[in-house]
Amino acid sequence: MSNILEQANKIINERSEEKERQYGPMGEGFERAAMIASGMSGRDWDAHDIFIAMVALKFSRQSYNFKEDNLLDACAYIGAWQNYINDSRSDFSGPDLKEEVSSTKGYCDETGCDDEDKPDEPIAENPYSSTHPRDVLNALIQLGGTK
């Protein structure tokens, strides 16, 4: 049996044409699910919320009964989420590294770069300021919901 990450990669990045015909592109499916969830709940959902919910569901199931399939699906959803973020990167541009969150060195805007005129405040709120899992999850939700 292959590594769980290799299996998840095959599921997400090597999807057969048959899978595309049956379910459509995953990102589009999650966008459609978000519209349905928004209509059902009366609050705005987006595809990022659906990815978060699916990963959370798999971890919840895993907490009751260990099944490799739960972990495989969670890994696959996380990989698909990263693909979705990459595909919509122009609409979702945020810091990737801790250093990028509060560093203002080399500040640039549409007029160019100017180290002397850089802002004194951080570029974005630091989502890594807490190590509590709930705070990290809330930071991910906030980042995932940014458009």
Q: Residue 92 has what pLDDT?
A: 46
Phi, psi of 3 (to 5 degrees): -60, 145
pLDDT digits (tens, 9 = 90+) for 82-132: 999 998 876 545 556 555 555 445 555 556 665 555 555 555 555 555 556
pTM: 0.57
pLDDT digits (tens, 9 = 90+) for 1-45: 579 998 888 888 887 555 666 888 888 999 999 999 999 999 999
Q: Residue 25 has what pLDDT?
A: 85
d(C-alpha 76, C-alpha 72), whole Å? 6
What is the pLDDT confidence band of residue 63, given thresholds at 50, 70 and 90? very high
Q: Residue 147 has what pLDDT?
A: 45
The answer to whether residue 74 scores a pLDDT higher than 70 is yes
What is the pLDDT confidence band of residue 79, given thresholds at 50, 70 and 90? very high
